[in-house]
Structure 1
């Protein structure tokens, strides 16, 4: 272990943005289009504008807090220091379930994609294979993993551009037309469906927050991470809107698909034939791989921050490999836990992401509001807008997302939270001993 037990700062803005975009898994826009179009009655592009606008308020809250606490712990660190140490541990505990669930989802998607092309290969082999490769790359350091992610994101972008080109060509040669501004906005009776689709699509933006766990890996994190957060959210929003605008123009009625929940391969075949379908599925696989790589990085950093603080056993979770400068035990543990994908389905794993992500989003906004209330200095209009109005709007949107969670998600979240409370009570002598604090001066760069 190195003397300072600190992660070396190697990541630049491009690396952090690539990891954030990979975590978001932009190709999910193709997988969710059918069901989102059905729910919104054909207003998916506007639904993405709505959710992007709402998520942007929470992204701004993350940007403010990472300047104050440049730590790998993300929302765990913010809540622990601004609200309450015990509450911070619980928020970190519940948030971790989202970081853990995404590698499971990516492994399950890899099995689905590859099993369709190679039905003779056992499905479990794809799950184990993806997790093993991701774990291997992450052990050798975040810089290598980030560089691989850059290449994967570039390939996905190329596939997306080709998809848009083929879609435009199909519109120009067919009876369809490009959606006008009037057609983009629904009539009054369709607004409920629009907001229902926005709640569904909010998960597309999970990823901009995960890069806050890379604060200690990043050069000049107080400047780089806030910029990366806004860039990731904005680039994702632009990509999602652009793709769905042309898809909605070509397919105003998704009832033409055999399976609206899995319409993307059908769309790829319609616009480009079997050759483009193969190219498109390659992009989908790269998306799954890149997202799994980024998710494991974020999960291992969150565990490292909690381990270094002594919240969970420090010797294991707070260990950095002296050569690779990566939390190898955490990476291996996340890999092993991800193998639970062998026992879960997509619905179960998605439920875990919902609970963890919405918890993180909620408390980030609450922390900014608490900072505002504790501030005794002058309060200009801009200060009130940025530190009270914006986080309140962000929090209200997240509360709306909570209200749309299904019962299964709430039950899973409740059980996981109860386990965390029991562990915290036992580790702090029934809450008579506070969790250790971290010296942030040592983390400055």
Structure 2
């Protein structure tokens, strides 16, 4: 079981600040974290939702991604501030717990569990969908079990192995994106297809833009940005986390935003008729138009491996550490088992195996549309609470109200909160019903665990 320490009895300042003994192995650098963030957000993420986002936005998918980048940058700064203050593995769960309120922190963790527990299974399901287009005879159960086993085995062995797998898949994706953009430029500018040249139409069309349209479309496209916060779950495995984690969160978000904008803009120029795009395979069809069958199949195969293994690998790594963090605070069922660290690999192996088993069930029995709605609700709700935590902890509790503090700890997080709330307002009724039902279950469970919300984890009384 993870140890709660006496902050007066240790020399390590991070241990004194957090109240936890250092159990996980510190190996990661700034570069490792940026690459982890890019893989988690997935450079080729437009393959998943571009067609739907384009349809919802009258072909202005690049505008939708731009809104998403703006929304996430302010929230990324909030994660940067909190990860510097609390360099521990629980991400938003730990930050809201300490910055806003312990019980709200538990509910944040509960929402994160819903969110990230289903993402690996959703990613495996996407891979199964795409792979069936190339190898229709392969049984879905076999694909799902194989991918779940691979990511669970790699994560249980250690974050260093995860790091090298991330490097490999990242470079493959970046190479394919570069080829797609080069082929797209030739297709549009030299061959005269699509729009036939550069245009601002993918960003602005008079009479078609209103706030509701942007909110609805952004709530779909923002799926690609979900995961940048996963970097902060690796704080206890990072060298010098107070200086490294925050900047890596912001850097990875800005880089992925540029990749999304470039791909969606090129797709919009090459295929302006968004109405005839297939919701599931529309982006791949555009790739086939501009690059031929070779690029089409390469994107599908790399997409299958990148989504089903690399992306699922990093997301599983993140949620297993949130479950580990909540379990060492004794807030989840079977906390004694889920909080154990592997004696040799120094990883939360039991939590990782649990997530692997859950991924199989999610991929087998839940639809992609249903899963995407749950993921978006959970992520946006978490981000709003995180922004409020920055205001509460730094501006109100610590009274950091200099000119710099005023903008960093009040204005910036409030802008982040407002933009996220705007996107949150674009969800449909089903998403709200599912999301609030899960939250209600968490409220009841939290009340039982805390004896009517009167008790807090022991570590919070020590820090």
TM over 0.5: yes
Preserved contact between residue 164 and residue 243 of structure 1 (Cα < 8 Å): yes
Aligned mates of 2:400, 2:148 — CA distance in 1: 51
Aligned mates of 2:428, 2:222 — CA distance in 1: 15
Give ranges in structure 1 of 5+ residues lacking alignment.
none
Q: Is residue 248 from structure 1 mapped to residue 286 from structure 2 by the alignment?
A: no
Other-structure match for 2:293: 274
Preserved contact between residue 25 and residue 291 of structure 1 (Cα < 8 Å): yes
Preserved contact between residue 59 and residue 272 of structure 2 (Cα < 8 Å): yes
1:396 Cα deviation after fit: 1.0
Preserved contact between residue 300 and residue 331 of structure 1 (Cα < 8 Å): yes
Preserved contact between residue 216 and residue 427 of structure 2 (Cα < 8 Å): no
Aligned mates of 1:351, 1:41 — CA distance in 2: 21
- The partner residue of 1:291 within 302, 311, 317 is 311
1:195 Cα deviation after fit: 4.3
- The partner residue of 1:322 within 327, 343, 347 is 343
Other-structure match for 2:355: 334
Aligned CA distance change for structure 1 residues 439 and 358 (closer, same or farther; 3 Å): same
Preserved contact between residue 107 and residue 443 of structure 2 (Cα < 8 Å): yes
Other-structure match for 2:158: 141
Preserved contact between residue 198 and residue 269 of structure 2 (Cα < 8 Å): yes
| Equivalence map 1:58-97=2 (5 Å) | 58-97=75-114
1:429 Cα deviation after fit: 2.7
Give ranges in structure 2 of 5+ residues lacking alignment.
4-20
The alignment covers a number of residue pairs equal to 440
Question: What TM-score do you get using the length of structure 2 for normalisation?
Answer: 0.90
Other-structure match for 2:42: 25
Runs of 4+ off more than 3 Å: 1-5, 180-184, 191-196, 375-378, 438-441
Aligned mates of 2:205, 2:403 — CA distance in 1: 34
Deviations 1:219-261 (A, max 9, x none): 111111111111111011100111112211112222344x244
Q: Is residue 233 from structure 1 mapped to residue 253 from structure 2 by the alignment?
A: yes
Aligned mates of 2:43, 2:296 — CA distance in 1: 17
Aligned mates of 1:399, 1:383 — CA distance in 2: 23
Q: CA RMSD in A?
A: 2.1
| Equivalence map 1:183-202=2 (5 Å) | 184-192=203-211, 193-202=213-222
Aligned mates of 1:73, 1:188 — CA distance in 2: 45
| Equivalence map 1:24-423=2 (5 Å) | 24-171=41-188, 172-175=190-193, 176-181=195-200, 184-192=203-211, 193-257=213-277, 259-288=278-307, 289-312=309-332, 313-340=334-361, 341-375=363-397, 377=399, 379-423=401-445
Aligned mates of 1:377, 1:436 — CA distance in 2: 26
1:414 Cα deviation after fit: 2.3
User: SS of 1:437's equivalent?
Assistant: helix
Aligned mates of 2:107, 2:202 — CA distance in 1: 45
Deviations 1:4-59 (A, max 9, x none): 56111111122211221111122221332222222222222222222211211111
